Structure 1
Amino acid sequence: MGTIIERKNLLNICRAMNLIKNEIELPLVVVGKGSAYKDKVKEYLIENNMQDKVIFLSDQLAAEGKKPFVDTEDFPALYQLSTAMIYPSFYEGFGMPIIEAMSGGVPVITSTTSCMPEIGGDAAFYADPNSPEQMAKGFEKYYSDEDFRAHAIQKGFENAKRFTSEAYVQSVMNIYTSAL
């Protein structure tokens, strides 16, 4: 989900998928618009005969004559149709897709950098954003170990509660009352 730019790390996600392309038959669905970096990713997919493993949803919709970008109200359905969400950015300001996925019952693979460990808590599978091998392990774990996946989903629901509006209001009130 989001803009297809270098810091989002789509190329390394594709490299991770290349490592497991014969073991996991699920496609990667990419939502968002891109530019030169997206073209670089597509070149990698062609070079590695992986065009059928990655669906650029915005491109597919545009080719069908539909609005090329998915509305935010469609995000929950996209998340809930997923086996897992991967978000191994090099850096983010907050990492809202992690919470969105967890709130929808989708386990998350994210990076060990920036704010992602703080947002994912103990509910995410962490991978070095420079390591397609670690990302591939996350794919394999969620795909092949149903108990691990179920446990991650449950932990994700619990973790997402930290970011509800009620939790935010309570934390602000705690700050005010502690200052008195």
Structure 2
Amino acid sequence: MRIGIDCRYLYDYFTGVGRYTHNLANRISEFDGENEYVLFKNPAVDRIVDKPNFFEVPVKSRPVSFGTWLNLSLIVQRHRLDIFHSLFPVAPLFPACKTVVTVHDLQAVTDPHFSSNRNVVLQKGAEYFYRMSYPLSMNRADKIIAVSGATKRDIVEMYGIDESKIVVVHEAIGDRFYQRPDTRRLDEVRLKYKLPEKFMLYLGNTRPHKNVKGLLESFARFVFLKEFPTAPVLVIAGVKERFFPQLLPLLEQLRIEDRVIFLDYIPDEDLPCLLAMARVFAFLTTKEGFGLPPLEAMASGVPVIASTDAALPEVLGEAAVLCNPHDPRECAQGMLRLWEDEQLRSSLIQKGLERPKFFSWEKAARQTLAVYKELGKR
């Protein structure tokens, strides 16, 4: 078969869908030398897969744009594919082949604030585009891959799509998080980012569904629950996008200006060290299609407090403290337990080291290839 994959979500830095793109393509290449793959990519990105049966085609149009509907349709047609795989529910309308669409979550159409904090024309345009593209892409697809059972349920409930059309293929973390960094590297990264000896960590963006506002409110309650020998610090690491500025006044309002450190995007080579140094990892998102960061923290030997919403209970199981992300008091109490209760910490660290092993990119890649093969027989 000749299979196309839309890899334009992969930039020179890794975001969630970009990381999914990189891992999926590279793992498939490790065991499938039979099929031909055409990777449609951002022209600025270096070679993604260096294998003789993988070919790469630069595409200038942005992945989330009308260019995907029409321009990418023409490009895909020219490459005479048997299957085209969109890694996000924005797919070409006329690919002239069977199609697979991966759905990570439905935030863009369920969260009223997802497209906010921008020019009103751009906001309304983005909202209209997502409302059109999501159902259109999923209804026209021959198969849908959902990254969790929670996402599959959301798709069925919102769009009434037949469950038999949707396959759940869980994501996974990279192998590097299982390897404990040496002391020298930890010291280098601590010095580079000016980090304290003990800190709580959140890793991700500041979009509304990530509930960073709720995290700050919970942390503020936590730090004033008692007198600590050393004042706890919260480190928030991730790309500072358009929602970031609205968090700053909240720090003063909560009286935690000196307790919060904001870092920008963390390069991949520093990420395992940052995670390994944290005392607690906090992930109180309200809508999450899967949730890689808490699994990465678990593999790094860090206890996790996370949300009871969406896919996180499915992904994290009993290896984390789960709390209602809409209740700062409950979250603050959970933070305190994880910060101070050494018996609880030890138990969750051990469970956490095992939990990420339930998921692997090899398994995800083989399950995805099975979807391709099923469509190839039709």
**Partner residue of 2:219?**
17
User: Which residue of structure 1 aligns with residue 298 of structure 2?
Assistant: 102
Contact 2:217 2:254 in 1 (8 A): no
Write the distance in 1 (CA, Å) between the matches of 2:364 and 2:244.
36
1 CA distance for matches of 2:281 and 2:309? 17
Does 2:340 match 1:144? Answer: yes
CA contact (8 A) 1:110 1:126 kept: yes
Rounded to whole Å, the distance in 2 between the matches of 1:49 and 1:140 is 18
Q: Deviations over 1:14-37 (max 9, x none)?
A: 111111223352211011123453
With normalisation by structure 1, the TM-score equals 0.83
Q: Flag the 1:35–1:43 CA change in 2: closer, same or farther, 3 A.
A: farther
| Aligned with residue 5 of structure 1, among 203, 207, 232 | 207
Could you tell me which runs of 5 or more consecutive residues in structure 2 were left unpaired when the two chains were aligned: 1-202, 372-378
Runs (5+) with no aligned partner, structure 1? 59-68
User: Contact 1:103–1:160 at 8 Å: present in 2 too?
Assistant: yes
Distance, in Å, in 2 between the alignment partners of 1:167 and 1:72 is: 23
Q: 1:49 aligns with which of 255, 265, 272?
A: 255
Tell me which protein shows more helix as a share of its residues.
1
For the aligned residue pairs, the C-alpha RMSD in angstroms reads 2.2
Contact 2:280-2:302 at 8 Å conserved across structures: yes
SS of equivalent to 1:72? coil
Distance 2:252 2:242 in 1: 15
In 1, the alpha carbon distance for the partners of 2:240 and 2:208 equals 10
Identity across the alignment (%) = 31
Q: How far apart are 1:49 and its partner, in Å? A: 2.2
Tell which has more relative contact order, 1 or 2 (C-alpha 8 A, sep 6+): 1
- Deviation at residue 5 of structure 1 after TM alignment: 1.3
Q: Is 1:33 aligned with 2:239?
A: yes
Q: Does 1:84 align with 2:280?
A: yes
Match of 2:375 in 1: none
Normalising by structure 2, what TM-score?
0.41
Task: Extract structure 1 runs of 4+ deviating beyond 6 A.
Answer: none
Query: Which amino acid counterpart does residue 232 of structure 2 have in structure 1?
Result: L
The 3 A distance-change label for structure 1 pair 157 and 167 is: farther
